[in-house]
């Protein structure tokens, strides 16, 4: 009787081991497919700090945390209301500067025209002065030979001589005064022609 009980215990233990082996075989993890390898390790995410070239507030974020992004993809949009106001102000300043440049250019052209007219008058006065001078020299030579009267010599020397000379000197002084004014106008016009920057809103993109 005791021997029979021992046999039953051994048979029961064997059956339990067999059942456990079959269960492990059926429930074991599937094998790694061909071309793959298994290893133990730790994966860490790389953190990248993103900053904008222009300080401001973010209006919209277009990606989620942990989402994969491509180079050049827009990640967020800035609140551009302040930038738009600055842009409109800059555009208004540019238009004002362009108007000032146009006015300065018109004034410069006017001064150049006046200067050319003054130069023409100076040349005319020089020609008159040269003509009067030659006539006076000729009259004096003829007077010495008795070919003209003393009265004629005085007429050629006095009234006609001095007015052309005075007009010539007056026009020359005016011309000299206008030259530095014209130079200043040119410098001011060149300064106003320098280009100005215009602000434009930007978006933050992935690099």
Q: What stretches in the chain show pLDDT beneath 70?
A: 1-9, 27-38, 45, 139-207
Element containing residue 89 per DSSP (H, E): helix 81-144
Collapsing DSSP to helix, strand or coil, 74 comes out as strand
**Is residue 124 a part of any domain in this protein?**
yes
**Is residue 32 a part of any domain in this protein?**
no
**Is residue 205 a part of any domain in this protein?**
no
**Is residue 156 a part of any domain in this protein?**
yes
pLDDT at 159: 47
**Is residue 103 a part of any domain in this protein?**
yes
Element containing residue 162 per DSSP (H, E): helix 162-192
**Is residue 55 a part of any domain in this protein?**
no
Residue 187: what are its φ and ψ, rounded to 5°?
-65, -40
Count of structural domains within the chain: 1
Rounded to whole angstroms, the Cα distance separating 122 from 120 reads 5
Residue 47 Cα distances to 50, 66, 74, angstroms: 10, 10, 18
**Is residue 140 a part of any domain in this protein?**
yes
Domain boundaries, position 97: 81-192
Selection from 204, 99, 122 nearest residue 170 by Cα: 122
pLDDT at 71: 83
pLDDT in tens, 6-22: 666 677 777 887 878 77
Q: What is the distance in angstroms between the CA of the first residue and the CA of the last residue of the chain?
A: 85
């Amino acid at each position: 009787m005791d021997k029979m009980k021992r046999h039953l215990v051994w048979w029961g233990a064997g059956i339990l081991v067999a059942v456990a082996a079959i269960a492990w075989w059926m429930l074991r993890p599937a094998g790694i497919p061909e071309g793959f390898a298994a290893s133990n390790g730790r994966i860490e995410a790389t953190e990248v700090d993103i900053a904008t070239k222009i300080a401001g507030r973010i209006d919209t974020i277009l990606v989620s945390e942990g989402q994969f992004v491509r180079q050049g993809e827009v990640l967020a949009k800035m609140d551009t209301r302040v930038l738009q106001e600055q842009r409109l102000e800059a555009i208004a300043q540019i238009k004002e500067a362009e108007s000032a440049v146009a006015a300065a250019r018109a004034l410069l052209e006017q001064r150049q025209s006046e200067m050319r007219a003054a130069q023409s008058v100076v040349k005319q006065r020089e020609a008159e002065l040269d003509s009067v001078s030659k006539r006076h020299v000729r009259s004096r030579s003829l007077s010495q030979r008795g070919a003209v009267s003393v009265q004629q010599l005085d007429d050629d020397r006095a009234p006609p001589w001095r007015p052309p000379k005075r007009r010539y000197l007056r026009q020359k002084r005016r011309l000299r005064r206008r030259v530095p004014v014209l130079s200043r106008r040119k410098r001011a016009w060149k300064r106003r022609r320098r280009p100005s920057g215009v602000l434009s809103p930007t978006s933050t993109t992935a690099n």
